[in-house]
Amino acid sequence: MTPRSPTFRLLTGLAITLLAVGVYSSYTILQLHSLQTLQTETIDRNRTDTLLLLRIQNGLNSLALTMRDMLDEQEPYPLTAWAPQFRRIRADLEDALAREEKFSLADRSPNQRRYLADSFRQFWDALDRIFDLARAGDAGEARTRIRLSLQARQSALGTAVSRLLIQNNESERDAAARTRELYSGVERNVYVFLAAMLIVIVLTSLYLVHYIRKLFGQVAALSARRGELAQQLISMQESTFRSISRDLHDDFGQILTAIGVMLQRAARRPGDQAEALLEVREIVQTTLEKVRALSHALHPVVLDEAGLESALDVYLPGFGRQTGMAIDFEKNGEGRELDHETSVHLYRVMQEALNNAAKHSGSKRATVRLSFLPDAVILEIQDDGIGIRKNHAPGLGLVSMRERTEMMKGRIEITSGEAGGTLVRVSVPAVPESVPV
**Quick one: how far is CA 30 from the chain centroid?**
28
DSSP 320-342: HHHH--EEEEEEES---PPPHHH
Assess whether pLDDT exceeds 90 at residue 250.
no
* Among candidate residues 189, 206, 223, the one where a domain is terminated: 206
Q: What is the pLDDT of residues 371-412, one digit of tens each?
A: 989 888 999 998 888 877 665 556 667 778 888 888 888 899
Q: What does the pLDDT read at residue 434?
A: 43
Do residue 54 and residue 201 come from a single domain?
A: yes
Q: What does the pLDDT read at residue 273?
A: 62
Assess whether pLDDT exceeds 80 at residue 149.
yes
Do residue 27 and residue 131 come from a single domain?
A: yes
Residue 391 lies in a domain: yes
Residue 277 lies in a domain: no
- Which residues span the domain enclosing 148? 7-206
Do residue 304 and residue 410 come from a single domain?
A: yes
Identify the band that residue 173 occupies on the pLDDT scale cut at 50, 70 and 90: confident
CATH of the domain at 344: 3.30.565.10
Q: Quote the CA–CA distance of 1 and 231 in Å, as a whole number.
A: 23
When the pLDDT of each residue in the chain is averaged and rounded to a whole number, the result is 79
Which pTM was predicted?
A: 0.45
The average pLDDT across 117-141 equals: 88
The average pLDDT across 92-115 equals: 78
Residue 313 lies in a domain: yes
Do residue 25 and residue 149 come from a single domain?
A: yes
Residue 284 lies in a domain: no
Q: What does the pLDDT read at residue 436?
A: 47
Are 410 and 426 spatial neighbours (Cβ–Cβ below 8 Å)? yes
Closest to 293 in 3D by CA, of 313, 314, 309: 314
Alpha carbons within 13 angstroms on the beta-carbon side of residue 242 total: 6
Assess whether pLDDT exceeds 50 at residue 433.
no
Q: What percent of the chain has pLDDT over 70?
A: 77
Q: Quote the CA–CA distance of 3 and 211 in Å, as a whole number.
A: 10
* Among candidate residues 206, 224, 252, the one where a domain is terminated: 206
The average pLDDT across 296-316 equals: 75
Residue 357 lies in a domain: yes
- Which range is least confidently modeled, 7-16, 200-209, 255-264? 255-264
Within 284-383, strands assigned E span 326-332, 365-372, 376-383
* DSSP-derived pairing of the beta strands 365-372 and 326-332: parallel
* Among candidate residues 175, 206, 237, the one where a domain is terminated: 206
Residue 351 lies in a domain: yes
Residue 26 lies in a domain: yes
Are 369 and 423 spatial neighbours (Cβ–Cβ below 8 Å)? no
Residue 45 lies in a domain: yes
- Indicate the number of domains in the chain: 2
Do residue 314 and residue 196 come from a single domain?
A: no
